[in-house]
Structures are given as structure tokens and as C-alpha cells.
Amino acid sequence: MKKLVPVLCLVIMSFLANAQTKPMKWFNQPKQWSGNAQKLTFTVDPGTDYWRITHYGFIRDSGPFYFQEMEGDFEATVKVTGSYQELFHQAGLMVRIDNKNWIKTGIEYVDGVQNVSAVVTREVSDWSVVPRTDSPKSIWLKLLRKGDYVQIEYSFDSKTFKMLRLAYFPPKVKAQIGVVAAAPGKKSFPVVFENFIVKAVK
């Protein structure tokens, strides 16, 4: 047993070294929030959103985004639990270079139904959804940035993941990765993010 202890310590230290523990920052900090990357709770203020031009003709860049900066390839994971109530209430992960280059994914509430959603923006936004009729309590998200792409996967049990989207994302540029939410209408809503982890990958 004594021989195993140093080995276990090395394994744990290797994992912690690989998992990024960089400081987190706010973009559009909400009025009410508490916690950290392990468990973050906040109320999403109304009138907040992310979108660029397509179909609607407007630009929005105002949702709360709690992030860290990363260079190179990485994988981010998180559990998201939101009390969605109004059209386009949304919460999930975002990877972002600037206001013209970003991807967000998670749950988006449309016509009383939760949708697994992805918005990919390069100058203009596009939107894809997978409707859910069972209104799952939580969703687990996995976002892989590697080379010139981002791959998005989701799960409702934290074990079985399905791919939602594979999209181009500019390579060799420092990016912001973190949790995001928005409430474009008049109602706020609470959201909880748990176990947000970012790991460098090869």
C-alpha cells in the first residue's frame, strides 16, 4: 500500500496540472451571483443576449459570461441547471475570441420546450437546435477546441454523450472559455453551473 501512495500522488498531480486553474473573469457581470467555477449561481438579468445580424438584423453582446483565457487546444465541461421560463432563456458554455467570433451552446427555451442549442458566429450568427419534450432538469456539456474546429457534445446523465455540432473556429488564437447565459425578454431566471473544468489536450 505504501508503494501505491506516491504513484497515486503523481496521478493526482498530473491531473491537476492538466486541468487549468486560471483565474476567472466576468464579462457583463450579473447583479446577483455567488460561487466559483466549482459551483456558480446567478440570476440572469433581463434584456441580455448574444446574436449578430442574421434574420433579426441586430447585434447583441450583453449576456453574463464567466470565463478564463486559454491558448492552444482544450476541452471544457460543465453541468447546467436552469429554471427557464420565457422565450429564448438560455444557459451553457461559450468559447469566444471577440464580439465577431464566438460559439455558444446549451439549453435554449423556445415555445415552452427546452432545446439543445448551438449558435456559431463568424461575423454573422447561425443557429441549430435539437428540441426536447421532456424538459430535463440538467444538461452536461462538453466542448472540445482542437486545431481549426470546435466539437460540441451533450448528455442528460453525465455518461452518454451525443455530438451536437462540429464547427470551424479560428486556430492558434487565444480564446475565452466559460459559462454563459442570457434572458432576452423581460423576465430574469436563476441558473446553476457545476464542476466547470477546462483541460489542455494534445
Residues 160, 157, 63: CA angle, nearest 5 degrees: 105
Share of the chain above pLDDT 70, in %: 90
Which is it for strands 139-146 and 39-44: parallel, antiparallel or unpaired?
unpaired
**pLDDT value at position 191?**
98
Residue 11 pLDDT class (50, 70, 90 cuts): very low
Question: How do residues 39-52 score in pLDDT, each as one tens digit?
Answer: 999 999 999 999 99
Question: How do residues 139-187 score in pLDDT, each as one tens digit?
Answer: 999 999 999 999 999 999 999 999 999 999 999 999 999 999 999 999 9
Residue 53 pLDDT class (50, 70, 90 cuts): very high
**pLDDT value at position 187?**
98
Question: How do residues 63-86 score in pLDDT, each as one tens digit?
Answer: 999 999 999 999 999 999 999 999
Asked if residue 13 has pLDDT above 50, the reply is no
In 3-state terms, what secondary structure has residue 142?
Answer: strand
Whether the model clears a pTM of 0.85, i.e. scores above it, the answer is yes
In 3-state terms, what secondary structure has residue 14?
Answer: helix
Average pLDDT over residues 30-45: 98
- Please, which residues have CB within 8 angstroms of residue 130's CB and are 6 or more apart in sequence? 115, 116, 117, 164
Asked if residue 93 has pLDDT above 80, the reply is yes
**pLDDT value at position 3?**
55
| Other CB atoms within 10 Å distance of the CB of residue 79 | 16
Cα-based distances in Å from 171 to 73, 97, 103, 118: 9, 10, 14, 19
Which is it for strands 139-146 and 65-70: parallel, antiparallel or unpaired?
unpaired
DSSP string of 49-111? -EEESTTT--EEE-S-EEEEEE-S-EEEEEEEEE---STT-EEEEEEEEETTEEEEEEEEEET
Amino acid at 130: V
Walk me through the domains of the chain, giving residue ranges and CATH numbers.
22-200 (2.60.120.200)
Amino acid at 1: M
Determine which of 12-26, 27-41, 51-65, 187-201 has the lowest per-residue pLDDT on average. 12-26
